[in-house]
Structure 1
């Protein structure tokens, strides 16, 4: 009988539990949320988009003329895709986690 209880308790530890997302921000987190919103706006705003377009164009030109290693150039371009696609990437991970 005791081994059955222990086995059930051990099995309960390893069963996946659904994570419940909070719908509201915790108390006192207003300045932190505002700062993160500003950072997101800065990283994904018009200025950042223009800088990324110029960087990709410059890297692409340097790669085509043989002045830059293709691996480093591809790293820069993939980094821009990850930066601007971060919201979609996180949404996909969250939806995949919610299904499982």
Structure 2
């Protein structure tokens, strides 16, 4: 369970990171992309909003309890915790990458 959740959060962070980075290349949104942009913003709000926070708290609590009782490997538990950090820190990670790319280019 822990490994699956960690991979899911890492993949979601990668999707949002690439979407945000690609959106910065354009001076504005392309014509006709309004519904797509709205859907992606809704998805981002859902994954980074209250629902994601509650799910992350429950996941970390369950994984932490399983790690303490010896029912899950510490490596898999750490993967879930790191995945949550990546999910909620995705905006900061992308901002750091963008500022580094702006300095280099």
What TM-score comes out, normalization by structure 2 length? Answer: 0.74
CA distance in 2, matches of 1:33, 1:21: 15
Give the aligned partner of residue 29 of structure 1.
33
CA distance in 2, matches of 1:47, 1:98: 34
**Range 21-30 or range 51-60, more displaced:** 21-30
**1:68 Cα deviation after fit:** 0.5
Residue of 14, 39, 49 corresponding to 2:43: 39
* The structure with more helix, counted as a fraction of residues: 2
2:53 paired with 1:49? yes
Q: How does 1:6-85 map to 2 (within 5 A)?
A: 21-85=25-89
Q: Which runs of 5+ in 1 are unaligned?
A: 1-19
Cα-to-partner distance string for 1:43-80 (whole Å, 9 max, x where unaligned): 00101101101100110111011111001111111111
Give the aligned partner of residue 87 of structure 1.
91
**1:23 Cα deviation after fit:** 2.9
What TM-score comes out, normalization by structure 1 length? Answer: 0.77
